[in-house]
């Protein structure tokens, strides 16, 4: 859904793109509302979609296809950009708020690692490509301004790495168009560029339970707060992927979906059951994790990092009580 809530776009596991215009004017309680625009031109099934804040840019991706639709709120005959991506199976996609850039991650051409692409939407040209990252892409998120990107990878169904790229636009201009875009006449040019791609600024591999897969990852608008979930655990990190705190649940109903607020002050996660919603308050320099498991029933305050203060307060109270009793 667009940031202003007035446009909705969807893809499934088929070839269709479905767009609803002026959704805020649809009467409450409406059912079976037909989309205002559909497109079935993709040669491959589509699995990822994102939309700009005002709905004017829609980007979709599948196993071998990338498409952008420009201007849908104004016209039902939008400009459409399409590019084959050479068997690069997409594992994450995000569009900036203004739609000017987007990032996606997928397997490298030889399927040995993951790559992050940072693309100029309107020029329809990658600004840069990352170096091959270890593992296979499981999730990607980008700040609203398109400047901070975080991506997670797994290998053999186990957590492999979390990588962050800061100030993405400043990394542009170092590479020629990679193989697969705009019908390159020299196929070896793209290969050379991929081998010399942009490295991440920081990476994280210190998982408490590396046997768990990473399901989702999220980053704040300033890149200062990052979180990812492994189903059972929630890791909260700073801009350099230094660990703020981690919460481990009793089972795998904690963090299939993870979202950091735009200002980076809170994290919300959920699992696979109706009552598994968790809220974390991120206060610097350390976060206070306020966790609601079955949120209708209880809230838990985690004070593992505050225990010296708590013990000190209890000791002071005990001393004061003894003094009061002595002179009473």
Task: Give the tens place of pLDDT for each residue, 119-145.
Answer: 999 999 999 999 999 999 999 999 999
Signed CA dihedral, 118, 124, 125, 127: sign only: negative
**Residue 253 neighbours by CB distance under 10 Å:** 20
| pLDDT range class, residue 114, cuts 50, 70, 90 | very high
Who contacts 1 (Cβ-Cβ below 8 Å, separation ≥6)? 7, 8, 9, 23, 51
Contacts of 45 (CB under 8 A, 6+ apart): 13, 14, 15, 62, 63
63-77: average pLDDT = 92
Q: Is 156 left (phi over 0), alpha (psi -120 to 50) or beta?
A: left
- The predicted pLDDT at position 107 comes to 82
The mean-pLDDT minimum among 174-178, 204-208, 209-213, 228-232 falls in 174-178
* 189: confidence class by pLDDT, cuts 50, 70, 90: very low
The residues that bridge with 148 in the sheet, in sequence order, are none
Task: Tell me the C-alpha distance between 6 and 20, whole Å.
Answer: 8
Which secondary-structure segment (H or E) carries 192? Answer: helix 187-195
Residue 89: both structure tokens together: 């199976």
Residue 202 has pLDDT above 90, yes or no: yes
User: Is-contact 93 51, C-beta < 8 A?
Assistant: no
57 in Cβ contact with 70 (< 8 Å): yes
Query: What tokens appear for 67 in the block?
Result: 């498409």
Tokens of 309: 């203060």
* Domain spans in the chain, listed from the N-terminal domain onward: 8-327
Position 215 scores a pLDDT of 96
Query: Is 200:133 a contact under the CB 8 Å cutoff?
Result: yes
* Closest to 15 (Cα-Cα) out of 40, 49, 50, 47: 40
- Are the C-beta atoms of residues 286 and 307 closer than 8 Å to each other? no
Q: What is the pLDDT of residue 68?
A: 97
pLDDT of residue 204: 96
DSSP state of 231: B
Contact call for residues 105 and 116 (beta carbons, < 8 A)? yes
| 140 contacts 168 by C-beta, under 8 angstroms | no
**pLDDT tens profile 233-251:** 999 999 999 998 899 988 8
Report the C-alpha gap between 47 and 66 in whole angstroms. Answer: 11
- Strand, coil or helix: 273: coil
Could you please state the CATH topology (level 3) that the domain comprising 8-327 is classified under: Methylamine Dehydrogenase; Chain H (2.130.10)
Contact 151, 137 (CB under 8 A): yes
**Is the distance from CB of 193 to CB of 115 less than 8 angstroms?**
no
Is 188 a residue whose pLDDT tops 60?
A: no
Q: Is the pLDDT of residue 325 over 60?
A: no
Which pLDDT score is estimated for 296? Answer: 29
Residue 264 pLDDT > 80: yes
For residues 45-65, give the mean pLDDT.
Answer: 94
Residue that is written with structure tokens 């209880």 in the block: 298
Please state the rounded mean pLDDT for residues 149-163.
Answer: 95
Rg (CA), the chain: 23
Question: pLDDT at position 191, please?
Answer: 40
């Amino acid at each position: 859904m667009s940031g202003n809530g007035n446009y909705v776009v969807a893809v499934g596991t088929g070839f269709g793109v479905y767009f609803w215009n002026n959704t805020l004017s649809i009467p409450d309680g409406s059912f079976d509302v037909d989309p205002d625009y559909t497109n079935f031109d993709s040669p491959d099934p589509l699995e990822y979609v994102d939309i700009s804040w005002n709905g004017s840019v829609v980007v979709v991706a599948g196993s071998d296809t990338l498409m952008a639709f420009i201007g849908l709120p104004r016209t039902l005959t939008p400009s459409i950009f399409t590019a084959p991506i050479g068997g690069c199976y997409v594992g994450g996609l995000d569009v900036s708020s203004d739609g000017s850039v987007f990032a996606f991650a997928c397997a490298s051409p030889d399927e040995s690692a993951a790559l992050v692409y940072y693309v100029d939407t309107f020029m329809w040209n990658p600004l840069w490509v990352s170096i091959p990252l270890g593992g296979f892409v499981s999730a990607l998120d980008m700040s609203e301004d398109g400047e901070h990107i975080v991506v997670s990878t797994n290998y053999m169904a186990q957590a492999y790495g979390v990588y962050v790229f800061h100030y993405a636009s400043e990394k542009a201009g170092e590479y020629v168009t990679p193989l697969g875009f705009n019908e390159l006449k020299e196929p070896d040019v793209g290969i050379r560029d991929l081998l010399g791609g942009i490295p991440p600024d920081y990476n994280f591999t210190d998982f408490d339970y590396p046997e768990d897969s990473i399901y989702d990852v999220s980053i704040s608008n300033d890149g200062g707060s990052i979180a990812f979930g492994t189903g059972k655990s929630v890791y909260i990190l700073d801009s350099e992927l230094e660990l703020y705190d981690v919460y481990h649940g009793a089972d795998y109903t904690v963090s299939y979906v993870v979202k950091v607020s735009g200002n980076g002050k809170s994290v919300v996660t959920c699992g696979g059951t109706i009552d598994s919603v968790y809220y974390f308050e991120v206060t610097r320099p350390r976060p206070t994790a306020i966790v609601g498991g079955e949120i209708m029933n209880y809230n838990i305050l985690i004070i593992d990092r505050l225990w010296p203060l708590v013990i000190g307060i209890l000791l002071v109270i005990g001393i004061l009580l003894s003094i009061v009793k002595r002179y009473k």
